[in-house]
Amino acid sequence: MALIVLAADKGAPGVTTAATALGAVWPRPVLLAECDPAGGDLAYRLPAEDGGVLNPARGLLSLGAVARRGLHAEQIHEHTQKLVGGLDVLTGLTHGEQAGGLTWLWGPLGRSLAALPHADVLADCGRLGGHPEMGDFVAEAAQVVLFTRPSLDHVAHLRERLALLDGRPVVVVIADPRSYRASIEEVRRIVAPWDVAFVAGLAYDPKGAELLRGQWGGRLDRSLLIRTARELAGRLAALLSPREPAGRPDRSGAARGGAGR
């Protein structure tokens, strides 16, 4: 269906939390893929569907071990796991040193994820710029979403990244609820010279992020994080295929006390 790259250019504005929240409420079948060459922490941050721990050796690392003989879209799900709530995830590398032997992987991985037939892919790519080989991966994306905090340094780096990217990226501001709309409008004004698809927001909500770590259900569904993620997911899905109706409920646990498939 579609590969959506989620990334930032500066620091850690919360891309992994944003990616997980979007995956929880995505209106179509979806796979969350942890594609940060610097390493990720989903395997240690979020519980598996059975309440246990995810296997850090099953995911991008195991996929890379077999992909040297060729990588095809149908192989991807052999290396995925399910989070609590039912979200499919391809866990990433656990530390940056593992990326040294996988510099060849990113282009083929991007093509395979983009060709996945029955699900969109939300690819958490962390911080862009530190790994030039990721250019081949990003080039396969149907949409690039850049996250930023509304601070001066984050927005300055965002402007530099926008000048380097092709296409029409989406900009998402991780904003304090107390200044939510003002922060979004200020960033929208600053990036106006660039051709972006739209500027949106996602609430900075530490309590919601903690609920996202495993306490699925009504409390999570009412959090500012999930409410703003749902709005953002709808806009992104409509941008990708404006004529295709949303066909499945989200996995945030609303009305069923859990989040199964």
Domain boundaries, the chain: 3-240
Q: The whole model's pTM is what?
A: 0.88
- Tell the CATH superfamily of the 3-240 domain: P-loop containing nucleotide triphosphate hydrolases (3.40.50.300)
Per-chain mean pLDDT for the chain? 85
The residue among 184 and 253 whose pLDDT is bigger is 184
The tokens for 204 are 């900075």
Asked whether the predicted pLDDT for residue 131 surpasses 80, the reply is no
Most trustworthy range by pLDDT among 16-20, 59-63, 64-68, 249-253: 16-20
Band (pLDDT 50/70/90 cuts) for residue 210 is: confident
What b-and-e string marks burial along 244-261, b requiring 16 or more CB atoms within 10 Å of the CB? eeeeeebbbbbeeeebee
- Condensed to tens digits (0 to 9), the pLDDT of residues 74-103 reads 889 999 999 887 899 999 887 766 766 778
The residue among 249 and 224 whose pLDDT is bigger is 224
pLDDT of residue 1: 86
- CA dist., res. 187 & res. 23, Å (int): 25
Asked whether the predicted pLDDT for residue 65 surpasses 90, the reply is no
Mean pLDDT confidence for 199-228: 84
- CA dist., res. 227 & res. 143, Å (int): 22
